[in-house]
């Protein structure tokens, strides 16, 4: 492990130790604040309870990411190809971010029901924007001299896109995707809070009402792990794909 | 033969150049020599149609054309190699974008790699080789355009002085071995003297030709040939006066 990894691990252990010590010292009831050891214990022992809910939330997140990719990439490319489109659409893109999407969650349940669709939609709205914006910026950041070279070679737009613009934009695309996947869990969980029959967000609300606080924390732990896993996955994918130094 | 007549480009109402004429016979190596920022790159961008010309005519091999964008190959001071492709794939870009026979293009690029001292480095990435090798790869790519006219925009100015000297004779190959017609812009007097059939000194703002030298020495030339040194002295003398006649 490198130096920064080591110091991060040390800081985390220190915080967890302080938490554990404080709970024990002041004898804080478990339903108010369970100690980390209890949370970890619940997260492991209750895995059979957590797993089906995690599977649902995971499916929502993955579908949301997939939908976001399937829509953000073509839109960013279209806006890049036709600046008129960018001018026309960018106010809507910005406005879509100004709307507090969480306020839409109850409406989405009315429109799309208590099932998985409303949560996928929430995740999609949240992921869509960072991917679109960062990919568009990446495409636009291509140096003029390279564009000139390709235009002198007589390369049509889609060939230039495949050979030049797309690889050029990849680092920024991945930066957007990384932001996207790390906020995706938020979208899915908020959707589940408002109305659902399964999922980690649903489990949290249920356990919260029953004062099963360790289970609430265990669900948060699982969510965090899922978010970190996706984040790391994007990082690995990025390293596999971007093998060159710019 | 390239004939440019009365070419003009204005920027915010001011001429970058106007009434610019150029006569470049086939197979000749002409150099436009002038200080940085005098409008040389704007001239190239206008000639290649990257920016539209405001006036003037361009004629290539007797045919009037709007620009030379699809008639010339172009080499920039930056190598403009794509870091995600190998040197070979970079050299094949013109063939790939044109959609021509890739097997044949690969053979030809392979020969050029060997000719320009890049043999064995075909599958290296640009970041794995030196600046000089990158620029030679850019030269292969330029040749792979398969066009008779080549525009060189300070092609060696990003290289250090020692590497540059070693690469000047490679540029000469464009004329002597590959029979190209060449228009180069540079601010390097020695480079112009070593390579050019005709040297045009440029005045800035608006850009124009105010002086022409045609060293009639056979190539390759030695940098210390007495005639070249005499011409160099005259060129430096003119440039010292600020190029304002």
Residues B167 and B227 in one domain: yes
Residues A115-130, mean pLDDT to the nearest whole number: 90
Helix (H, G, I), strand (E, B) or coil at A141: coil
Do B97 and A244 make contact, defined as CB atoms within 8 angstroms? Answer: no
Residues B32 and B142 in one domain: no
* Separation between Cα atoms, residue B239 and residue A75, nearest integer Å: 53
Q: Calculate how close chain B gets to A129, using CA atoms only, in Å.
A: 27
Asked if the structure places residue B76 within a domain, the reply is no
Q: Helices (H) and strands (E) in chain B — how many of each? A: 8, 10
Do B83 and A164 make contact, defined as CB atoms within 8 angstroms? Answer: no
Q: Which of B116, B146, B176 is the last residue of a domain?
A: B146
pLDDT confidence of residue B242: 64
Residues B43 and B91 in one domain: no
Say which CATH number the domain at B67 has: 3.40.50.300
Query: How many CB atoms sit inside 10 A of residue A217's CB?
Result: 21
Asked if the structure places residue B134 within a domain, the reply is yes
Helix (H, G, I), strand (E, B) or coil at B149: strand
Query: How many CB atoms sit inside 10 A of residue A168's CB?
Result: 22
Residues B51 and B65 in one domain: yes
Query: Which residues make beta-bridge pairs with B206?
Result: none
Residues B25 and B102 in one domain: no
Helix (H, G, I), strand (E, B) or coil at B201: strand
Residues B42 and B134 in one domain: no
Query: Which uninterrupted H or E stretch holds B90?
Result: helix B87-91
Is residue A152 less than 8 Å (CB to CB) from chain B?
yes
Residues B218 and B174 in one domain: yes
Distances from the Cα of B121 to the Cα of A7, A230, B102, B131, B164, angstroms: 43, 38, 19, 13, 20
Q: Any alpha helices (H) in A82-209, and if so which ranges?
A: 83-98, 101-112, 116-140, 144-152, 157-160, 166-194, 200-209
pLDDT at A95 over 70: yes
Asked if the structure places residue B122 within a domain, the reply is yes
Residues B174 and B185 in one domain: yes
Residues B223 and B136 in one domain: no
Residues A125-139, mean pLDDT to the nearest whole number: 92
Residues B118 and B17 in one domain: no
Closest chain A residue by Cα to residue B143: A153
Q: Tens-of-pLDDT digits for all 245 residues of chain B? A: 898 988 999 988 888 888 889 999 999 999 999 887 788 888 999 999 999 999 999 999 989 999 998 899 989 889 999 999 999 999 999 999 988 889 999 999 999 999 999 999 999 999 999 999 999 999 999 999 999 999 999 888 888 888 888 888 888 888 888 889 999 999 889 999 999 999 999 887 788 888 888 888 888 888 888 888 998 899 888 888 765 44
Q: What percent of chain A is predicted at pLDDT more than 90?
A: 76
Report the number of distinct structural domains present in chain B.
Answer: 2
Q: Calculate how close chain A gets to B229, using CA atoms only, in Å.
A: 35
Task: Give B93's contacts in chain A (Cβ within 8 Å).
Answer: 153, 163
Q: Which of B123, B146, B169 is the last residue of a domain?
A: B146
pLDDT at A1 over 70: no
Q: Which of B146, B166, B189 is the last residue of a domain?
A: B146
Asked if the structure places residue B63 within a domain, the reply is yes
Q: Name all domains of chain A by residue range, CATH numbers in brackets.
A: 35-241 (1.10.3720.10)
Helix (H, G, I), strand (E, B) or coil at B16: strand
Kindly report whether the peptide bond that precedes residue A13 is cis, defined as omega within 30 degrees of 0: no
Is residue A145 less than 8 Å (CB to CB) from chain B?
yes
Residues B101 and B187 in one domain: no
Task: Give B48's contacts in chain A (Cβ within 8 Å).
Answer: 148, 152
Query: Who among A152, A164, A242 is closest to B69 (CB)?
Result: A152
Which ipTM value was assigned to this complex?
Answer: 0.88
The parent domain of residue B192 ranges over: 2-71+149-240
Q: Which of B174, B165, B176 is nearest to B218 (CA)?
A: B176
pLDDT at A97 over 80: no
Residues B142 and B182 in one domain: no
């Amino acid at each position: 492990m490198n130096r920064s990894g080591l110091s991060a691990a040390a800081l985390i252990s220190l915080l967890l130790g302080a938490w554990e010590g404080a709970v024990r010292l002041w004898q804080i009831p478990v339903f108010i604040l369970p100690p980390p050891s209890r949370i970890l214990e619940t997260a492991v022992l209750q895995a059979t309870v957590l797993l089906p809910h995690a599977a649902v939330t995971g499916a929502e997140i993955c579908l949301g990411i997939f939908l976001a990719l399937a829509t953000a990439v073509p839109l960013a490319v279209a806006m890049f190809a036709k600046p008129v489109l960018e001018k026309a659409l960018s106010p809507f893109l910005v406005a879509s971010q100004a709307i507090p999407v969480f306020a839409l969650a109850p409406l989405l349940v009315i429109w799309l029901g208590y099932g998985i669709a409303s949560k996928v939609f929430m995740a999609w709205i949240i992921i869509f924007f960072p991917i679109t914006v960062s990919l568009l910026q990446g495409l636009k950041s291509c140096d003029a001299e390279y564009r000139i070279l390709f235009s002198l070679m007589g390369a049509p737009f889609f060939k230039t896109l495949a050979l030049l613009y797309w690889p050029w934009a990849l680092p920024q695309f991945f930066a957007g995707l990384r932001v996207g996947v790390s906020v995706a869990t938020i979208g899915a969980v908020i959707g589940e809070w408002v109305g659902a029959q399964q999922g980690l967000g649903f489990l949290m609300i249920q356990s919260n009402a029953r004062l099963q606080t360790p289970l609430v924390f265990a669900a948060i732990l699982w969510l965090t792990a899922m978010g970190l896993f996706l984040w790391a996955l994007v990082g690995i994918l990025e390293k596999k794909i971007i093998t060159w130094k710019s | 033969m390239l004939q440019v007549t009365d070419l003009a480009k204005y920027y915010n109402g001011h001429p970058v150049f106007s009434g610019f004429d150029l006569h470049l016979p086939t197979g000749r190596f002409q150099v436009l020599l002038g200080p940085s920022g005098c409008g040389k790159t704007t001239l190239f961008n206008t000639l290649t149609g990257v920016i539209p010309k405001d006036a003037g005519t361009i004629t290539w091999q007797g045919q009037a054309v709007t620009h030379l964008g699809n008639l010339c190959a172009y080499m920039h001071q930056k190598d403009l190699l794509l870091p995600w492709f190998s040197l070979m794939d970079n050299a094949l870009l013109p063939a790939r974008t044109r959609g021509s026979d890739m097997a044949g293009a690969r053979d030809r690029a392979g020969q050029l790699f060997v000719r320009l001292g890049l043999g064995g480095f075909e599958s290296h990435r640009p970041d794995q080789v030196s600046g000089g090798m990158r620029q030679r790869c850019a030269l292969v790519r330029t040749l792979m355009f398969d066009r008779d006219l080549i525009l060189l925009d300070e092609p060696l100015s990003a290289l250090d002085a020692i590497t540059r000297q070693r690469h000047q004779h490679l540029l000469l190959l464009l004329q002597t071995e590959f029979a190209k017609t060449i228009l180069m812009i540079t601010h390097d007097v020695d480079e112009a003297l070593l390579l050019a059939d005709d040297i045009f000194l440029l005045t800035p703002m608006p850009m124009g030709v105010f002086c022409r030298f045609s060293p009639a020495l056979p190539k390759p030339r030695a940098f210390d040939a007495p005639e070249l040194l005499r011409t160099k002295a005259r060129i430096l003398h003119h440039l010292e006066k600020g190029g304002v006649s």
